[in-house]
Amino acid sequence: MLAQLEDINDPFFDRKVDAAIAGLPTCYARNLNDEVSRDNALTICNYIMSMKTEINISDNYRRTNIILLAKLSKYFGNKKSFNQITREDLLSFLDRL
């Protein structure tokens, strides 16, 4: 719980968003800053940064991940963090697609 609070109050939030969307149009920053809860936005940024480090993902793959993960967060009204989403919740989201 404490780690989760530290993530929400991360002083480097803006830098993480900038690093995750580097080379992409600014509308993707808007997805992470305005349309997704801060907790989920940090999770998305950390995920994107990890993938960039490990497998050097393409810009298109980053775009797709940001869009789909933002839609997942919005599907639950930004009230559930990603670590609270159950298998049934995920299946419900996927059925909607």
Here the tokens at position 21 are 């969307």
The residue ranges of the chain whose pLDDT is under 70 are 1-10
| pLDDT score, position 3 | 42
Residue type, 92: S
DSSP assignment, residue 25? -
Closest CA to 10 of 48, 39, 36, 31: 39
| pLDDT score, position 87 | 93
- Number of domains forming the structure of the chain: 1
CA distances from 35 to 1, 56, 80 (A): 23, 26, 14
| pLDDT score, position 26 | 81
Q: What is the extent of the structural domain holding 61?
A: 2-96
pTM of the predicted model, to two decimals? 0.78
